[in-house]
Amino acid sequence: MNTISAPPSPPQPGEIVRLRGDPGRMGRLEQIVEVRRRPYGVVLFPSGPSRVPLESLEPLPAQLESPLDLLRRGALEGPEGLRRHLAHIRLSGRLSDVLYSLEATDTEFFAHQFKPVLKLLNSPTGHLLIADEVGLGKTIEAGLIWTELAARLQHRRLVVVCPKVLCDKWKLELQGKFDLDARIMGPDDLTAALTSPSKQRKGFIAVCGMQGLRPRPKADRTGTAADRLAEACEGIEAFDARIDMLIVDEAHHMRNPGTQTNLLGQMLVRLASNVVMLSATPINLRNRDLHSLLRLVDPITFRDERALDDIVDANAPVIAARDAVLRGEGPAEVARLLKAASRHPLLAGTRQLARLRDEVLSAGNLDPDRRAYLAARIENANLLGNVVNRTRRRDVDDLRVERRVSAMKAGMTAAEREVYQGATAAIQDFAETRGLPVGFLTVTPQRMVASCLPATVAHWRRGLGLEGFEDEDEEEDGDPGSLRQELGRLALGIADADDLEAQDTKFSLFLSLLREHLVQRPGEKLVVFSTFRPTLAYLRRRLGDAGILAVVMDGQVKDRTELVERFRTEPDLPVLLSSEVGSEGIDLQFASTVINYDLPWNPMRVEQRIGRVDRLGQEAEAITVINLVHADTIDERIWDRLYGRLKLCETALGGFEDILGQEMAGITRDLLSGRMSPDERDRRIDRAAQAIANRRAHEEELEREASALIAHGDYVLREIQAKRDGQHLISDDDIVEYLRLGLGTLHSGCDLQRDPMADRLELRLTPEARHELEQWAKARALDPGPLSRASGPVAFRLGRSTPRNRLPRLGQAHPLVRYVSDRLSQRGDMRAPAVAFACSADGASGLEPGLYLGAVQAWTFGEGSEIRLAYSLIPFGTGDTIEPGDAERVLRRSVPASRAWTTVFEEIDLEESARRVSELLEDLFIRFDEERERKTSEISDRIAIQIATLERGAAEDRVRIERQIVPGGALEAANRARLTRLNERIEQRRRQIEKQGGGVPSNRDVAVILLKVEG
């Protein structure tokens, strides 16, 4: 039995005591009496004497000695003393240098996905637009932000709004990767979550389809669920946040002002403390779409388009100063640019810029590391830097996957050629006779013929016309009824229609490619795309006849997640047949071959197909993309002269969709509007290719311009990697050892058993511990699960889930960990120790063998501010102080690999050690004072921005209510009451903001250290 040690002895009469369950209530123990064989303490509280069960009392800790005092008298602990004290501070959720989302989820580590986490933490408004390119994991980034906020701020109310087709994916991602109990909610469920006091206290994780939530104008409302949601949201007063974090996926659907979807965004944003919007929209500062999204993200700052222009102007000298630092310019030039930046009205009075200018002028020569640090500091003054996150695929090393692209051309038989040309001519004749513009009704039949002749003719013969078409880009532009009849007559008039399947040259080519692939690369999965359901059904049938199992995923499939999992795991299922709509939002990176059975004329559709496979998590060094076309057709010409010339399939197209969409609409109209000769078609396609190339170069220039204004430099990515490598995270070992210590201090007899081989932990709490945990959790509307109810052991998972271990995870945010942290903080039992330990040079990050002295302090810079740990380390004899970053790395890594230094008193003089450590603490205080000045500037600037934002928003809300106050009107009193409540909330919010600058900065000792590094 691994039973945790017993708590201290019971209190004695005359001692100052406190309640175990309420450490803030203290008094003097007068006497101990026994009632019915149970001991009670008679305690004189300030409110008067009271009898309390003796087991509910504990002595108030005596006056604690400082770590330096402990060192002087030789009261040294082993490395576990430092480890448990650091774990307590780190598990409080308030350390500034710890990313609590690191290693806290079932996601792979990619450094770029933590950039948005840092940006939102540094954002004065708590709102962020993530505009990463496709395939970089925006869903994961949003989940990591939530994990960070939940750990730091105990957030518990999350709402995800996304297209309906993505709801299941979001639910499964949140459940599977983030251990969140996500529920798909409709309008009524969301209304209850936003208005029910119990749900607001307990929290919720809601995933909602944006189409079902959209509000209608008040005059059009008829009491539907969406109408009730709108009424409820409109009835919630300003500055009354009901959502801790709002995530909007595919946020570009909300970009058009005045639409119902845009109004939905406005309605929910005003109810949220933090907002994260996800969109692959290219960052073009001259594009109104970007401003529309930014206005949703931060409606106060980006209230009109001029506001964005003003911010761009203000940022220009800031970015110029950053670039000057990185270029190696001298201090005078950098200082000049910083002074120019401070003259802009939006940055006037910014204390950070003034301090940075002084630092640069006094720095002298700057080495590369110092320049990178200063550049990152300058970026913090960037007004757009913490509003937009933009990562491009080319910037992510993990996405450097080669695309091996080829086109396979099937020659037509004479019968196929006759059918293809006859259908093309008949479609054009039909359009010309009726004066139809080139659009859905005329383009779709042509694309169906190019996709699969046998399937299309059979489809038309059944009178189904254009049914089965799956492309969200196209909308019907006329009455398809007459065209359906025309296509039916055309199909019935084809004499050799029944022979088309036997002559299907395209399928024959496809089947030979497929068989060759399955022989050469057994076990590898293939994804075959077509825009048309008839083609997919035809391929499935014919592959089945050939003995090759395939499944179809189109827009009619209900449970796409189950189908994908089946495709991924079943070894005898090598082929997935999919449409673009069917695969929307689905990750298929476990496959590495894409076959386009038909070729969409808009290359963005092809890019979306390839992007299902070419995304984060793709382990193959190269993916194969094969495009099938019929020879001597429009499709072949478009492939050769557009796709091939511009290499459109070989590199990700990024935010190129609008450009391609506009140009391809024009080329489609021209190619099908008349009877162009082959040479005329070639020249038209060539003109389109040149126009696209020109526009592409122009957009790339605009992207570079914008990225320079919003991007964090490589310094941030290096910092993220360093946090992970330096263990700036909460490990499973930290949590287990912390619980062992904490439960041992709080409750005797709790049992903790760990099986490291299975990443499994079993906990059994005593009845007292279960009761106190339940009461603590109930007061905070938390659910501790079976821990507070089960008398036997309760099993948990440590680390990531596996097929064999899907137990609930015991992470830093679990109620039990928070309970232990809260209770230990209240008790004051975490004494700062003096420690002595020894380790090898390898365990000390290669530090030279010898004796060292160290210290760790905790710094805070205002009321409620985060804690920063500061480290210092010097050789015991002669030698320079080790750089702070190196000292931190050495001490972090050496503690887990160390042992108690049992001969410390024989090898080191305690008095001399205490003298040197005292000097070390003085040096730490000087560093603290310098950091205090810098943080005070940052906090002051943050408060100024938040107050200004509050004032602008408050002014608009006041005006809106004041306009509704009609003297003598029936609602005058009610509206004046609303105005009073608004002013009270504004004042309350102002005090909360100003409180950030309150309090007294402080530094306290965490530990003093004697370290022996052995050779």
142 and 208 part of one domain: yes
Q: Is the pLDDT reported for residue 131 higher than 60?
A: yes
| Per-residue pLDDT, 494 | 75
95 in any annotated domain: no
678 in any annotated domain: no
**Mean pLDDT in residue range 554-577:** 89
Binning the chain into helix, strand and coil, the percentages to the nearest 5 are 50, 15, 35
766 and 876 part of one domain: no
Phi, psi of 39 (to 5 degrees): -75, 140
Structural domain for 54, as ranges: 1-62
Phi, psi of 915 (to 5 degrees): -65, -45
854 and 885 part of one domain: yes
848 and 910 part of one domain: yes
Least-confidence region, from 36-50, 253-267, 629-643, 988-1002: 988-1002
455 and 556 part of one domain: no
Residue 654 sits in a domain of what CATH number?
3.40.50.300
233 and 282 part of one domain: yes
C-alpha span between 708 and 699 (Å, rounded) = 14
Residue 51 sits in a domain of what CATH number?
2.30.30.30
829 in any annotated domain: no
C-alpha span between 769 and 778 (Å, rounded) = 14
363 in any annotated domain: yes
Picking from 554, 572, 518, the residue whose alpha carbon sits closest to that of residue 563 is 554
| Per-residue pLDDT, 96 | 73
How many structural domains does the chain have? 7
563 and 573 part of one domain: yes
173 and 255 part of one domain: yes
C-alpha span between 390 and 396 (Å, rounded) = 12
| Per-residue pLDDT, 477 | 44
| Per-residue pLDDT, 723 | 66
Neighbours of 230 (CB within 10 A): 24
pLDDT in tens, 194-241: 999 999 999 999 999 999 999 998 888 999 999 999 999 999 987 789
C-alpha span between 276 and 282 (Å, rounded) = 17
C-alpha span between 640 and 620 (Å, rounded) = 27
227 and 315 part of one domain: no
142 and 276 part of one domain: yes
46, 62, 78: which is the final residue of a domain?
A: 62
620, 640, 668: which is the final residue of a domain?
A: 668
681 in any annotated domain: no
| Per-residue pLDDT, 650 | 63
pLDDT in tens, 363-393: 777 777 778 778 878 877 777 777 888 887 7
| Per-residue pLDDT, 322 | 85
Q: Is the pLDDT reported for residue 480 higher than 80?
A: no
Instruction: State percent of the chain over pLDDT 90.
Output: 28
88 in any annotated domain: no
C-alpha span between 256 and 549 (Å, rounded) = 44
770 in any annotated domain: yes
Least-confidence region, from 296-310, 322-336, 517-531, 929-943: 296-310
pLDDT in tens, 70-104: 899 888 988 888 887 888 888 876 677 777 888 78
pLDDT tier at 249, thresholds 50, 70, 90: very high
Neighbours of 459 (CB within 10 A): 25
791 and 653 part of one domain: no
C-alpha span between 825 and 829 (Å, rounded) = 7
> To the nearest whole number, what is the mean pLDDT of the chain?
82
Residue 902 carries which side chain, given as an amino acid letter? T
pLDDT tier at 142, thresholds 50, 70, 90: very high
Of 41-45, 716-720, 744-748, which one has max mean pLDDT? Answer: 41-45
C-alpha span between 942 and 963 (Å, rounded) = 32
752 and 885 part of one domain: no
| Per-residue pLDDT, 154 | 84
> 559: burial class by Cβ within 10 Å (0-12, 13-18, 19+)?
exposed
| Per-residue pLDDT, 944 | 78
State in Å, rounded, how far the first CA of the chain is from the last one.
38
pLDDT in tens, 801-831: 776 777 888 887 788 998 998 888 777 666 7
**Mean pLDDT in residue range 674-694:** 72
